[in-house]
């Protein structure tokens, strides 16, 4: 309906956020511009519809529960910190994790292990590995990248997660609509994993950048951290700072690693159980069906509350006064406040793009010249653009799955369907990974303690490199019909690209002494 104008608000949000580093102002301005377009240029109507959109996203039941969830995660993390859990974990691991590379690898491994939800992934990996990465002068930007590059990519390929349940439900609904009975939805999903190039390459890229040379803004951030001990650049404003909001842990000398383990085991255990329970597990549904039908917002809110409750019990055992407990709870909420505001505005941008028909415009603009050979590549690009512009992978999947699968089945049969499913999920993950208005990107910034725009700018070259290789692989999919062969080729290309680009960048921009300093696995402890 609004044609080319429909892509203006998300583009304004992204460009302004990167140019000004003020995410909240950039988002609000873009929503207001969307209101102007929607209301035909009437400024009074634009202001009215802007605040209507913001009101609607805050009163949506899923969004409202998510806001509560984020606040509870902040409370749980704050209690874990104040009772000394994070401090004790760092102390217990100091003999095994004794250099920068191992510290970074620890965060990546945790991101791989916690595969069942991207938000919980950021909470657990962030809290467990942040202090020890700080100890060995890993920049906040690099640590945020490690969190972000594993959270959503890992959740979308499993083996079991609420993401997979959602994805399979989209595939199942589309199969019914086109009467596709040649395979089951879950098997189609499994067949698509080898074609989800971006997610798999993104996961592998992290250790490649840990053990090889960084380039671009990330290399500068790492050199700053190693040389000066400044984990964030001068003038940067982290989305949250646990130390600033909460002060030092109480009774550090009594801190025990179990103060870290118990809340997180509770979060994971209750989270998995609640995902199964709210999806109808007690009614006899199998695990994947239950995950497809689960109430993610309800389940994770229960898990976050349980984590906070265990943290409260530990605080009482530590003989915290009621004032110390209340201050910790309020500090935890205060830590999450910037994220809550950004997410409300980001959801409002999603409402704007829906009202203006952004996704429909993008799809309609490309459908006319699609061919079987180009379809995977074009679908991947469209999903990248939509997810980056709206900040939502689930929304992009919901939009593109009912469009891409029937189109693929009509012109290429079931083999092309599996490729397209992989391309849809891969393109959707790109935006969730690196869009400045993505909730997952925001969560990574929060739990790494990074300036949000600095996180986006430093990881963008890495995400674009992975996306570029993935795009070439989709172009080759019309010739090579074995996804795993293309994936192996992509991994080889990625390996050499990381080494060549990193070496060339550092030789051109850094002194020999700085290169040697960055290459060293050990720095003086803080």
* Three-class SS of 60-84: CHHHHHHHHHHHHHHHHHHHHHHCC
Q: What is the per-residue DSSP string for 346-390?
A: HHHHHHHHHHHTHHHHHHHHHHTT--TTTHHHHHHHHHHHHHHHH
Q: Which two tokens stand for residue 83?
A: 């009772």
State how far the Cα of 451 lies from the Cα of 386, in Å rounded to an integer. Answer: 24
State the pLDDT confidence band at 98, using cuts at 50, 70 and 90.
Answer: confident
Average pLDDT score over residue span 34-50: 92
pLDDT at residue 401, as a whole number: 83
DSSP state of 238: B
pLDDT at 395: 74
Confidence of residue 337 (pLDDT cuts 50, 70, 90): confident
Of residues 106 and 401, more confidence is placed in: 106
Kindly report whether the peptide bond that precedes residue 159 is cis, defined as omega within 30 degrees of 0. Answer: yes
Task: Report pLDDT for 422.
Answer: 96
pLDDT at 309 over 90: yes
**Nearest residue to 129 (alpha-carbon basis) of 169, 157, 96, 175:** 96
12 vs 501, higher pLDDT: 501
Residue 367 vs residues 362, 371, 395, 396: alpha-carbon distances, Å:
9, 9, 20, 17
| 162 against 202, higher pLDDT | 202
pLDDT for position 366: 64
Please report the pLDDT score of residue 165 as a whole number. Answer: 63
pLDDT given at position 195: 96
Name the β-bridge partners of 451: 238
- Nearest Cα neighbor of 386 from 397, 396, 394 is 396
Q: Determine the pLDDT at residue 510.
A: 94
Model confidence pLDDT, tens digit, residues 271-281 = 888 888 988 88
User: What are residue 178's phi and psi, to 5 degrees?
Assistant: -110, 10
Query: Per residue in 256-289, is it b (16+ CB within 10 Å) or e — as a string?
Result: bbebbebbbebbbebbbebbbbbbbbeeebeebb
Lowest average pLDDT, out of 145-159, 189-203, 486-500, goes to 145-159
Q: Three-class SS of residue 260? A: helix
Span of 178-192, 200-214, 360-374, 419-433 with lowest mean pLDDT: 360-374
* Residue 423 reports pLDDT greater than 80: yes
353 vs 462, residue with greater confidence: 462
165 or 429, greater pLDDT: 429
pLDDT tier for residue 246 given thresholds of 50, 70 and 90: low
What phi and psi values does residue 28 have, to the nearest 5 degrees? -65, -45
For 497-523, what is the mean pLDDT?
Answer: 88
DSSP 8-state class, residue 95: T
CB atoms within 10 A of CB 193: 21
Higher pLDDT residue, 187 or 205? 205
Instruction: Sketch the domain layout of the chain as residue ranges.
Output: 4-58, 59-519
Q: What count of other Cβ atoms lies within 10 Å of the Cβ of residue 62? A: 12
**pTM of the model as a whole:** 0.78
pLDDT higher for 103 or 353? 103
Q: Are 165 and 422 in contact (CB under 8 A)?
A: no
At 419, is the pLDDT very low, low, confident or very high (cuts 50, 70, 90)?
Answer: very high
**Which range in 299-313, 422-436, 453-467 is most confidently predicted, on average pLDDT?**
453-467
pLDDT at residue 352, rounded to an integer:
85
Is the pLDDT assigned to residue 521 strictly greater than 70? no
Higher-scoring residue by pLDDT: 274, 164: 274
- Of 421 and 275, which is predicted with more confidence? 421
CA-nearest of 421, 454, 405 to 167 is 421
Cα–Cα distance, 344 to 55 (Å, whole number): 9
Residue 160's pLDDT is what? 55
Whole-number Å distance between alpha carbons of 22 and 24: 6
pLDDT band at 369 (very low <50, low <70, confident <90, very high): low
Which tokens is 196 given? 């989800």
Lowest mean pLDDT across 136-140, 141-145, 286-290, 352-356: 286-290
Judged against a pLDDT cut of 80, whether residue 68 lies above it is answered with yes
| pLDDT surpasses 90 at 519 | no
Model confidence at 451: pLDDT above 60: yes
Rounded Cα distance, 486 and 60, in Å: 42
Position 42 scores a pLDDT of: 92
Specify the range with the lowest mean pLDDT, choosing from 37-41, 301-305, 379-383, 399-403. 399-403
Give the C-alpha separation, 98 to 481, whole Å: 45
- Mean pLDDT over residues 316-333, rounded? 88
| Mean pLDDT for all residues in the chain | 85
How far is 433 from 154, CA to CA, in rounded Å?
11
Answer whether 468's CB lies under 8 Å from 422's CB.
no
Phi then psi for residue 238, to 5 deg, are -60, 150
- Give the H or E element holding residue 322: helix 322-356
Query: Which comes out higher in pLDDT, residue 201 or 4?
Result: 201
CA Rg value for the chain: 23
Contact 446, 132 (CB under 8 A): no
The pLDDT of residue 509 is: 95
Q: Would you state the pLDDT for residue 461?
A: 96
Bridge partners for 238 per DSSP: 451
Q: Which residues contact 235 (CB under 8 A, 6 or more apart)?
A: none
Tokens 């499913």 belong to 421
Residue 313 has pLDDT above 60, yes or no: yes
Q: Does the pLDDT value for residue 385 go beyond 70?
A: yes
User: How far is it between the farthest Cα atoms of the chain?
Assistant: 69
């Amino acid at each position: 309906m609004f044609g080319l104008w429909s892509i203006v608000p998300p583009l304004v949000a992204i460009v302004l956020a990167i140019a000004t580093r003020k995410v909240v102002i950039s988002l609000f301005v873009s929503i207001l511009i969307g209101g102007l377009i929607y209301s035909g240029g009437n400024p009074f109507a634009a202001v009215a519809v802007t605040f209507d959109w913001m009101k609607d996203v805050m009163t949506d039941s899923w969004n409202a529960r998510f806001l509560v969830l984020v606040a509870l995660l902040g409370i749980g993390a704050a209690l874990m910190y104040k009772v000394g859990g994070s401090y004790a974990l760092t102390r217990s691991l100091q003999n095994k994790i004794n250099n920068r590379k191992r510290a970074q690898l620890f965060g990546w491994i945790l991101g791989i292990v916690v595969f069942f939800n991207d938000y919980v992934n950021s909470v657990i990996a962030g809290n467990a590995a942040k202090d020890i990465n700080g100890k060995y002068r890993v920049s906040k930007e690099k640590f945020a990248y490690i969190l972000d590059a594993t959270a959503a990519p890992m959740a979308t390929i499993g083996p079991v997660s609420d993401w997979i349940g959602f994805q399979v439900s989209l595939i199942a609904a589309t199969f019914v609509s086109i009467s596709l009975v040649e395979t089951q939805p879950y098997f189609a999903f499994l067949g698509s994993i080898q074609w989800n190039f971006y997610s798999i390459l993104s996961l592998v890229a992290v250790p490649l950048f840990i053990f090889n040379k960084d380039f671009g803004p990330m290399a500068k951030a790492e050199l700053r951290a190693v040389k000066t001990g400044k984990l964030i650049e001068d003038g940067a404003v982290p989305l949250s700072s646990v130390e600033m909001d909460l002060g030092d842990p109480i009774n550090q000398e009594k801190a025990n690693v179990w103060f870290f383990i118990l809340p997180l085991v509770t979060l994971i255990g209750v989270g998995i159980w609640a995902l199964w329970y709210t999806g109808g597990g007690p009614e006899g549904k199998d695990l994947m069906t239950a995950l497809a039908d689960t109430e993610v917002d309800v389940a994770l809110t229960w898990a976050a509350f349980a984590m906070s409750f265990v943290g409260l019990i530990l605080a009482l055992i530590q003989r915290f006064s009621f004032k110390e407990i209340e201050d910790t709870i309020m500090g935890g909420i205060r830590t999450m406040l910037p994220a809550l505001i950004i997410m409300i505005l980001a959801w409002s941008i999603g409402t704007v793009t829906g009202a203006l028909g952004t996704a429909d415009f993008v799809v309609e603009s490309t459908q006319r010249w699609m061919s079987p050979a180009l379809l995977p590549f074009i679908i991947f690009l469209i999903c990248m653009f939509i997810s980056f512009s709206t900040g939502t992978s689930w929304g992009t999947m919901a939009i593109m799955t009912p469009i891409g699968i029937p189109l693929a089945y009509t012109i290429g049969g079931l083999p092309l369907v599996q490729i397209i499913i992989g391309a849809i999920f891969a393109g959707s993950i790109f935006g969730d990974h690196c869009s400045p208005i993505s909730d997952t990107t925001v969560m990574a910034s929060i739990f790494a303690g990074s300036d949000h725009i600095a996180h986006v700018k430093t990881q963008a070259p890495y995400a674009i490199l992975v996306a570029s290789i993935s795009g070439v692989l989709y172009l080759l999919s019309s010739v090579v019909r074995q996804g795993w062969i293309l994936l192996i080729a992509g991994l080889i290309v990625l390996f050499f690209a990381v080494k060549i680009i990193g070496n060339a960048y550092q030789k051109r921009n850094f002194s020999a002494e700085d290169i040697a300093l960055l290459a060293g696995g050990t720095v003086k402890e803080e």
